[in-house]
A and B are shown apart, each in its own frame.
Chain A
Amino acid sequence: MNELDKIPVRQEISVAQGSVKRSNPLANVFDELVRFCQSRSMFMLHYCTGCGAIELPPAMTSRFDMERLGIQPMVTPRQADILLITGYVSVKTLKRIILTYEQMPAPKYVIGICSCTVNGGMYWQSYATAKVLKEYLPVDIYIAGCMPRPEAVISGLRDLMGDIKSGSASNWKRYFQNYDHYLGNQQKLFDEDWQTPTDIIAEAEHYGLITDQTLGEHTALLQKHQQPLEALEFSLGEKREKIRGENQ
């Protein structure tokens, strides 16, 4: 077994295992293999917010062909790894982005494309556009440009792949670890009674990522304004009768 000890083992945090470094060197090798496989099979959520989305079809299809790197578009957040924010984020869209992001299973990665996600871009004066995306979500990689060419998009995705392979792409954990901070920024922009259907605190518990930053004054507000879910009323019959009554 002496040969095994000579195998260089990386010290970075394993994506699959959280911050716990495994004592078995073979397990570390296995983790590395898992990370390599993860980085070569990424599903990109097909959700586009602004003009930068126009660079994605050529990046995905035959001209630049992202699929050769193992990146494919996926239509539902439940089955996707990457969330691309392709352009300006209006306050209304930001709500939907957060809902989408929270639905994605971990590990998940956010890429901010275009200048607008960095600092509002050419919409810096607009009352309706959220400026700094990373205040509301942990962003893994920014691809700046107005708008970046498909080459730049692919280069950014390759950087992300490298980060995943080395295990340093762990920004998604920050959302659980600093949930109070992110929620506070969201509440500042939306309202005090801002709610999402995903229970982030329970998920943080599940991943073992609860820190003293997870809960705080903002999550207390979340619980204060929480309303129990109620079943929707099924009222097709009534409506029909109503329409009938109106016709008569």
Chain B
Amino acid sequence: MSKELNLWLDDLLKDIKIIQFKRKNSRRVRIDIAPEALPALLELLQGRASYVHLSAISCVDWIEENEFELVYHVWSYETNSLVSAHTRISREPGVYLSVYDLYTPAAFFERDIHEMFGVYFEGSPDMEKFILTEWNGPPPMRKDFDSEAFVNQTFNWEEYHPQWLKDIEAEGGGITTRPEDVR
């Protein structure tokens, strides 16, 4: 039964002109869709095809194209398949619509993405700080945030070859295998 449902859904989705449809295997579908149409697609999937479970919203920063890619993963318990709806929004100003009215758990994912990437979701119930409550810098998962430079600027480092190690080496001990030897 579930296989037939999947086939029907495939036919249906292939008929919609504005989306790119690609079935990856019997349980996974990838859809590329314009940002204006995404809430409508999710509503259709949830209401008409029993995709009731929003597993995750993920975000990718495509800095060269100046875009954020948002991926909505929705799961159906009827057809046992996952639809990943990909959409791309402009990096500036990075504002998009919340799907909180369709899927309540979206509040959690959207708050997380807002914190990590700085994408603002209009209509999301809470855009406050979430996990990084003690972080005042830029959103750290953006590609233009240089974590290494930040770390070198903020933290000190332990000496790599301290005196006590030199003392041990003078007695014939110390590091037997250096990282360079392994690589």
Which A positions have Cβ atoms within 8 angstroms of B? 91-92, 95, 118-120, 124-128, 130-132, 135, 189-190
Contacts and interface: CB of A to CB of B under 8 A. Distances in A.
Interface of B: 132-135, 137, 140, 145, 147-148, 150-151, 154-158, 160
B134 A95 contact: yes
B155 A92 contact: no
A127 B150 contact: yes
Given A92-B133, A92-B134, A132 B156 contact: yes
Top 7 A-B pairs, shortest CB-CB distance:
A119-B158, A131-B155, A127-B147, A132-B158, A125-B148, A127-B150, A127-B140
Contact of A132 (B134, B137, B145, B157): B157
A118 B160 CA distance: 10
Contact of B135 (A119, A120, A128, A131): A128
Nearest to B155: A131
Contacts of A120: 151, 155, 157
A130 B160 CA distance: 17
Contacts of A128: 132, 135, 140
SS class of chain B's interface: helix, strand, loop or mixed? Answer: loop
B151 A127 contact: yes
A119 B157 contact: yes
Contacts of A131: 151, 155-158
Contacts of A118: 158
A124 B157 CA distance: 9
B134 A127 contact: no
Contacts of B150: 127
Given A92-B134, A95-B134, A126 B156 contact: no
Given A125-B151, A126-B147, A131-B158, 8 more contacts: A92-B133, A118-B158, A119-B158, A120-B155, A125-B147, A127-B140, A130-B155, A131-B155
* Of B133, B134, B145, B157, most A-chain CB atoms within 10 Å: B134
Contacts of B157: 119-120, 131-132
B62 to A, nearest CB: 21
Contacts of A119: 157-158, 160
A121 to B, nearest CB: 11
Contacts of B151: 120, 124-127, 131
A169 B62 CA distance: 53
A118 B159 CA distance: 10
Nearest to A134: B158
A124 B132 CA distance: 18
9 contacts: A120-B155, A125-B148, A127-B135, A128-B132, A131-B155, A131-B156, A131-B158, A132-B157, A132-B158
Nearest to A123: B151
A125 B153 CA distance: 11
A138 to B, nearest CB: 15
